[in-house]
Chains A and B, each alone.
Chain A
Amino acid sequence: MRWWLVRIATVAGVLAALVMVSQFAERGIRAYELQVILLCGVYVTLAVSLNLINGITGQFSIGHAGFYGIGAYVGAAWTVLWQPRLVQSVPALKLGTLTGDVLTLAVALVLGALAAALAGVVVGLPSLRLRGDYLAIVTLGFGEVIRVVLLNMEAVGGARGLSGIPTLVSDHELAVFWVGLLAVLVIAVSRNLMQSVRGLTWLAVREDEVAADAMGVNTTQVKVTAFVIGAAFAGAAGVAFAHYNTGISPDLFGMETSIIITTMVVLGGTGSVTGSAIAGVLLTALPEYLRFLADYRMVIFSTLLVVMMLTRPQGIFGHREVGWGTFGQIAGLLRRLLRRRGEASA
């Protein structure tokens, strides 16, 4: 009973906070800043969802943009191509009304996530046989296949991409809400998983697959589940992106994007949920404010990856998580420093 109360209060609190933040964001922030914040939210979702596959389960995947793209395209195809046909028989879906917009977007999110999850199964299956570099090549190939297929699919605009996606969410001050909800959800799922013993079995697969199997961990199930959950969140992130950006094209979901997401996970610390989230924000916001270096972006990212691998392969945060305790530690450190200075001056 108490458990339910706590859960309901938490969910209600998070939703209320998100609504408040999105109201504020829509009114109090310039359009450009809002774009950056939304993009941060999308990339946090992407990085944390890839962390489930790469960092926690140890299946090195560098085709995450493929799932992102599948979600974006399926979600956008629903809103642009299928929804208008359905709306004649289901009046509740009528755009322009709050319920219609929310319902349409919710369906888009579910469809995008499901389609990406299905792709996650397909990509997860080779991970049962392939490891390390070989799996990385397969996932890289998968990402490129998705991009090329989208490029040649006339039904969704081919190289021109799909544009004119109705701005369902931003009209109703909901863009930040949906994007924020996704980021919060993927972080909550990862965190809860990592605090359970079941989450430990995922780490065990990363540490030593043979030993994990011998200790009764169903490694097949773990790996495919990681791919499915990770892909579903990436797909949902794609849907959210498509609906606030109002236009998508295949080149947004290419290898470059995959590499950026992978860099975030590696930089944040493989396995660290908070590390991936923080790196997601940093690597999205910094390039925006360092526009004059835009031409060298890929060079900088690649160099960063190499330097990280050489000097700190475990990432900035390693396997640690940033939590309230971290603030306590920082406060303690400051207090000690201050006291020492006080003693020195006295």
Chain B
Amino acid sequence: MSALLRMEGVTKRFGGLAAVSGLDLHIDSGELAGLIGPNGAGKTTVFNLLTGVYVPTEGAITFDGRLINGLKPCRIAARGIARTFQNIRLFRELTALDNVKVAAHLRSRAGLAAAIFRTPGLLANDRALDQAARALLARLNLEHAAASRAGDLPYGLQRRLEIARALATEPRLLLLDEPAAGMNPQEKAELMHLIRAIRQDFHLTVLLIEHDMRVVMGICERIYVLDYGEIIAEGTPEQIRRDPRVIAAYLGDEAVHC
């Protein structure tokens, strides 16, 4: 049993409201898992807990055998968890290439003094980052967009650039927050292909939040269903599709009894 990520009894309360409560979840190394649930079920809260934006009120989050709750987001990124955002959060004024370089900088050792004095070590370091970033853009078919301002890119490319940026931090676990949102069927098919391919190439474990059932059922090997901040079901796409609790959560109780 090689769980890369484990959440045990994780609860997050905002005032009196429990956005997620008593969450138990584990993702195995190399797995491609999905997290689904109706709007407001607490899916993005789970991502924010995993990446350190929120600190859990109760419970433990362990990544690679080490406790990570309470760590700052940048430390968690250094441990190897990267994410994309539901409402794209690129560095809009920077070029696509620079967006990726910022993330790639996490794995470089150049200090502030080296940057100010432009030491030979820094120049070599920056060249290496530049090449790595270009290679990554090429891998995601974004090389033609390298010099464009990120905010000027078409929507689909922005989504892909966010994935490229997350990959530049060299993560072991990639969290994708609604990667297919706003895409047309063709783009969705490409996205599914891309997610499978990068998982293979970068030896990733992937957890994704998605509303589009065709995407979720199409690529996820295991799915967690969240409703009102609690896990109501867990299983393969086939099991989830038939689970009466899931159908009730999505379609209302009456649907089950009909």
Chain A residues closer than 8 Å to B232, beta-carbon distance: none
CB contacts under 8 Å to B, within A206-228, are 207-208, 210-220, 225
Give 10 A-B contacts (CB < 8 Å), ordered by A residue: A192-B115, A200-B105, A204-B91, A204-B94, A208-B89, A213-B77, A215-B106, A216-B74, A217-B74, A219-B74
What A residues does B98 contact at CB under 8 A?
200, 203
A213 touches B101 (CB 8 A): no
**Other-chain residue from A3, A192, A201 in contact with B102 (beta carbon distance below 8 A):** A201
What is the 8 Å Cβ interface bit string for chain A, positions 316-330, against chain B (1 contact, 0 not)? 000100000000000
Q: How far is the CB of A337 from chain B (nearest CB, A)?
A: 28
Q: Decide if B91 touches A210 in the complex (CB within 8 Å).
A: no
Q: Give B77's nearest chain A residue, CB to CB.
A: A216
In angstroms, Cα B93 to Cα A218, docked, is: 20
User: Which one, B85, B125, B168, contacts A211 given CB within 8 A?
Assistant: B85
In the complex, identify which listed stretch (B55-63, B116-124, B223-231) lies at the interface while the others stay far away: B116-124
Asked if B94 and A203 sit within 8 Å, CB to CB, the answer is yes
A335 at the interface (CB under 8 A from B): no
Contact A208–B104 (Cβ < 8 Å): no
Interface residues of A (CB under 8 A from B): 3, 7, 189, 192-193, 195-201, 203-204, 207-208, 210-220, 225, 319
Cβ–Cβ contact B93 & A197, under 8 A:
no
Distance in Å from the Cβ of B151 to the closest Cβ of chain A? 9
Whether A197 pairs with B110 at a CB distance below 8 angstroms is yes
Q: What is the number of residues of chain B that contact chain A, defined by CB distance less than 8 Å?
A: 43
| Cβ–Cβ contact B122 & A196, under 8 A | yes
Q: Is the CB of B90 within 8 A of A199?
A: no
CA distance A71 to B120 in the complex (A): 33
Whether the pair A198, B115 counts as a contact (CB closer than 8 A) is yes
A197 touches B108 (CB 8 A): yes
A201 to B102, CA, bound (A): 5
**What per-residue 1/0 map shows which CB atoms of B30-51 lie under 8 Å from chain A?**
0000000000000000000001
CB-CB under 8 A from B166, the residues of chain A are: 215
In the complex, how many angstroms separate the beta carbon of B101 from the nearest chain A beta carbon? 5
User: Could you tell me the distance in whole angstroms from the C-beta of A88 to the nearest C-beta in chain B?
Assistant: 37
Question: Of residues 228 to 247 in B, which have CB atoms within 8 Å of A's CB atoms?
Answer: none
Minimum distance in angstroms from A191 CB to a CB of chain B: 10
Q: 0/1 per residue, B95-136, Cβ < 8 Å to A?
A: 000100111111010111001111110100110011000000
Number of A-B contacts defined by CB within 8 Å: 107
Picked from B101, B106, B120, B129, the residue with its CB within 8 Å of the CB of A3 is B120
Least CB distance from A4 to B in Å reads 9
Bound complex: CA A307 to CA B71 (Å): 44
| Complex Cα–Cα for A195 and B126 (A) | 9
Asked if B101 contacts A197 (CB within 8 A), the reply is yes
- B11 within 8 Å of A by Cβ? no
Say yes or no: is B205 at the interface (Cβ < 8 Å to chain A). Answer: no
> What is the bound-complex CA distance between A204 and B101, given in angstroms?
10
In the complex, the answer to whether A193 meets B101 with C-beta atoms within 8 Å is: no
Measured between beta carbons, the chain A residues less than 8 angstroms from B90 are: 207-208, 211
A7, B92: Cα distance in complex, Å: 35
- With both beta carbons as reference points, the residue of chain B lying nearest to A219 in the complex is identified as B74
Would you call A196 and B126 a contact (CB within 8 A)?
yes
A198–B93 CB distance below 8 A = no
B19 located at the interface, meaning its Cβ lies under 8 Å from any Cβ of chain A in the complex:
no
Residues of B within 8 A of A212 (CB): 91, 102
Which residues from chain B contact A207 at a C-beta distance below 8 Å? 90-94
Residues in B184-211 with C-beta less than 8 Å from chain A: none
Do A200 and B93 form a contact, CB below 8 Å, given A189-B116, A217-B74? no
